[in-house]
């Protein structure tokens, strides 16, 4: 007589990653991480704003533009995936990557500026920041 074997359940075996609850959790987590990231990178992005040739009254717009882009396109990824819109999903991923890369690069350039003071990287970083605004 054949012995019955009981199958051991894995903890996440029945977790439906496509469920609305999981998607809400991921979206809220993304928003929380975005808030922390925005807080951490704000001073660096404000410091590189003059490199874009902006007047002092508009310095605050650089971190808002860049970090809002990350949040907006990060959320768009979830929406387009849920709607199964491949073209829009790829577009959202591309812009999410662009704004994330820009934020990282600008913060790195700000950190390098504190030690080197090189004018060339200021001009390049400022031009890229100024050129990115139309994407929003």
Please state the pTM of the whole predicted model: 0.67
The total number of residues written for the chain in this structure: 136
Query: How far is the CA of 56 from the CAs of 4, 28, 29, 74, in angstroms?
Result: 75, 33, 33, 29
Question: What is the DSSP code (8-state) at residue 98?
Answer: H
Q: How far apart are CA 125 and CA 107, in angstroms?
A: 10
The domain segmentation of the chain, as residue ranges, is 34-135
Q: How far apart are CA 123 and CA 104, in angstroms?
A: 17
From first to last of its 136 residues, what are the pLDDT tens digits of the chain? 566 666 666 666 667 777 888 889 988 997 888 788 788 889 889 999 998 899 999 999 999 999 888 889 988 998 999 899 899 999 999 999 999 999 988 888 888 776 676 777 777 888 888 777 666 6
């Amino acid at each position: 007589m054949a012995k019955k074997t009981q199958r051991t359940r894995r903890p996440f075996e029945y977790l439906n990653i496509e469920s609305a609850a999981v998607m809400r959790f991921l979206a809220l987590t993304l928003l929380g991480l975005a808030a922390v990231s925005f807080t951490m990178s704000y001073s660096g992005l404000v410091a590189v704003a003059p490199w874009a040739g902006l007047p002092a009254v508009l310095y605050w717009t650089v971190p808002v533009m860049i970090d809002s882009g990350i949040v907006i396109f990060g959320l768009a990824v979830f929406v387009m995936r849920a709607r199964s819109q491949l073209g829009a999903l790829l577009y959202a991923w591309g812009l999410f990557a662009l704004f994330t890369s820009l934020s990282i690069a600008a913060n790195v350039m700000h950190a390098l500026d504190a030690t080197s003071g090189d004018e060339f990287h200021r001009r390049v970083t400022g031009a890229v920041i100024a050129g990115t605004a139309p994407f929003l």
